[in-house]
Structure 1
């Protein structure tokens, strides 16, 4: 165990990539102790990526890339501006609402920060906000992406923990709302203390227009239900409803109705059993292509090719990490590290509150040093059996792990959102880190609520019959 973990940490400290560190540490352990033949090792590595849920990874990445090049981010921004831009600290509130909407399409925090975050930071700087404030609120709001469905980390966690991905998606809705409300309250406090005003005049017509878009989207399920009561089959009712929605959108040229429909279609499709959460990723890509090629006509063959190559590059790096992490996690089990850690934790306390506090501390530290996918792949096999001994629901644990690791994306030394926003804002990493620190407060409050009030996470999937 010392060789396995020690060599991994040493390689990380000297700057080796996470996947290379895990693969090399695993290889050293196998060479010195010969715990398995070469063929078994190769089979374990292949089995790590030979999984149906992992098919969602490239498709969700592709959907996020397509949404960025389809011009959807700009439309979401203008919708959010009409909805909350008149509030004090208006563009900061717009930043949060825009991220929430975009999170229903991309499923990743990095896509959120690099996509709509680029527009939001520029707009806030142009309106006189300190660049640090723009960076801070963009970083905090980007963490909502993997909490609201769909979510790429939930896919990885569901595969590693053998937990329903659909249940995880539904479990993220209420925590996502809690995070959004806490961040909007934080913006209101900053606006009051720093004298931030509104950034657009209050216009009832614009507010009514944005509100109408929300009503149109919310009326879609109601319209489908009425058509079903009238005698149409559910499939035909949905097609008629979509045709009517597209016609309305074309006629009135709504800003973001079609973008807002993305989570409705994905969640509705999974709830109705039309597709699995994995297949929902394919549906997200098809919807993105429809918006970019048919509705908005903003995609070209060149931009489509670029999105495809970006997806291939990102997917390859993610799956390489999963492959290396699968053999590393297996060796942790073989070396009895997981069992030893379990016994150690149980010897410290038999109280689940204390256990979750220790888990949060561990995850916050690990999240600052490890990539999200690698951290999930390594820690889930270790934490799952311990959580079961304490009676912690695996869906609840999934939300706790994901939110902790999202906070880790904002902190040095390897916080990816930190580096992305540093590049976008042209601030040093040190200044970007200091800009983000005040905005960690609502995230930590949300983490405490989600950790110690399990009903916030488990109520909705329980009501839908996804968990017992």
Structure 2
């Protein structure tokens, strides 16, 4: 118990004083090692070895590739093409541009795999268009922020890659298990948008003609092939998820540079530099989490947690409720990627002792953490959209409150109806 308190207490203290997450994990791990051995005999060679071991993973190469895809999509103007497809499809419904916002996020999700990329790339396009058509800026920002959470649910997904690598489960299965939850999120959000739009009297646009829809599809057809290439390639066995991400990068760069001619050599170099910086920040977290997970295993902290919960919780339903509340709380204070590295080594052995499918719970955990992205006080997507929309934080919070209903509704459904997650992988990966 002492080791448990030192490990988690030191981590929380370091995070509270502003130490970056990766270094906080390393610092907390060293504190535990020092407690047991003394600072003068801490095995620093082992510390270095374990941190380096954490980033020595072929699977995790998919992360910089998906980050690069998101930046390529934003830089090349593909966001506008995706938005136009969605507008021609559902723009005529009550609260049409709200539906367009959700649908375009759904489409863009299959390309970037990142909620922040969605909010930062599509966000300005969505908010400007909605405000120009008479929607309140706060409502436009709220729809944009909440729909961005679909990004890491619909495959491909950076969190799914991380979870699959850490939990040692099929990344393709996590991808496929996310499809139905992502569709549920989108449909529930569109239902809420229609309800609010009807109450506020938001405008109804003219239905796009078939020729307009066809032109939008032709203009955006090549980008929306990206998720199809990734999923088909993985399911057919042509390439692994990591190789799929590399193929998608080459494809996106090709259409941006040679088909649309919106990507120059200088802009591509700048995008690569920015992606390298983002990747380096993630690698520090990955390295720190590897050492942290090793300390958890070395001193049997995970086993102690499992034994404690097993002695006090017999019902799988109660355990799922407790874990959901715990992960939601963590997601309010820690960004989704660090939270995955922190929680997965602890949670996966626990759920397996209760017979819970790790694919099922992986999707549940990712959705939990996506809700955290639009929840104060950290809420990365929340602050990204606030900056893009230039709205007061209090107004954004007030407008986004109703959108927790579809998010929590989807979370409850997939938590207690596992086949909503497991059905598609069981059919396609049989």
Q: Provide the TM-score with structure 1 as the length reference.
A: 0.88
Equivalent-residue separation in structure 2 for 1:17 and 1:65 (angstroms): 24
- Superposed CA offset, 1:218-252 (max 9, x none): xxxxxxxxxxxxxxxxxxxxxxxxxxxxxxxxxxx
Cα deviation, residue 333, structure 1: 2.5
- Superposed CA offset, 1:328-383 (max 9, x none): 12212333321221122222322111111111100100001112121111111111
Alignment correspondent of 2:33: 30
- For residues 208 and 305 of structure 1, do their structure 2 counterparts lie closer, same or farther at Cα, with a shift above 3 Å needed? closer
Cα deviation, residue 206, structure 1: 4.9
Alignment correspondent of 2:225: 261
Contact 1:121 1:134 in 2 (8 A): yes
Alignment correspondent of 2:207: 202
User: Which has the larger displacement, 50-59 or 14-23?
Assistant: 14-23
Contact 2:235 2:429 in 1 (8 A): no
Cα deviation, residue 263, structure 1: 1.1
Aligned: 1:101 with 2:107: yes
Quick one: which of 297, 307, 328 aligns to 1:333? Answer: 297
Alignment correspondent of 1:40: 46
Runs ≥4 in structure 1, deviation > 4 angstroms?
none
Quick one: which of 444, 451, 457 aligns to 2:415? Answer: 451
Cα deviation, residue 207, structure 1: 6.4
- 1:418-457 maps to which residues of 2 (within 5 A)? 418-457=382-421
User: Which has the larger displacement, 327-336 or 273-282?
Assistant: 327-336
Alignment correspondent of 2:179: 173
Number of residue pairs matched? 424
Equivalent-residue separation in structure 2 for 1:161 and 1:96 (angstroms): 31
Alignment correspondent of 1:140: 146
Equivalent-residue separation in structure 1 for 2:395 and 2:213 (angstroms): 39
Equivalent-residue separation in structure 2 for 1:2 and 1:260 (angstroms): 48
Quick one: which of 148, 156, 163 aligns to 1:157? Answer: 163
Contact 1:8 1:22 in 2 (8 A): yes
Alignment correspondent of 2:71: 65
Quick one: which of 12, 15, 20 aligns to 1:12? Answer: 15
- For residues 171 and 207 of structure 1, do their structure 2 counterparts lie closer, same or farther at Cα, with a shift above 3 Å needed? farther
Alignment correspondent of 1:382: 346
Aligned: 1:186 with 2:150: no
CA RMSD of aligned residues (A): 1.6
Cα deviation, residue 135, structure 1: 1.1
| Structure 2 gap ranges (5+) | none
- For residues 58 and 256 of structure 1, do their structure 2 counterparts lie closer, same or farther at Cα, with a shift above 3 Å needed? same
Q: Provide the TM-score with structure 2 as the length reference.
A: 0.95
Equivalent-residue separation in structure 2 for 1:108 and 1:60 (angstroms): 8
Cα deviation, residue 169, structure 1: 0.9
Equivalent-residue separation in structure 2 for 1:162 and 1:330 (angstroms): 15
- Superposed CA offset, 1:262-314 (max 9, x none): 11111111111111011111011011111101111100122111211110011
Contact 1:83 1:207 in 2 (8 A): no
Alignment correspondent of 1:249: none
Cα deviation, residue 190, structure 1: 0.8
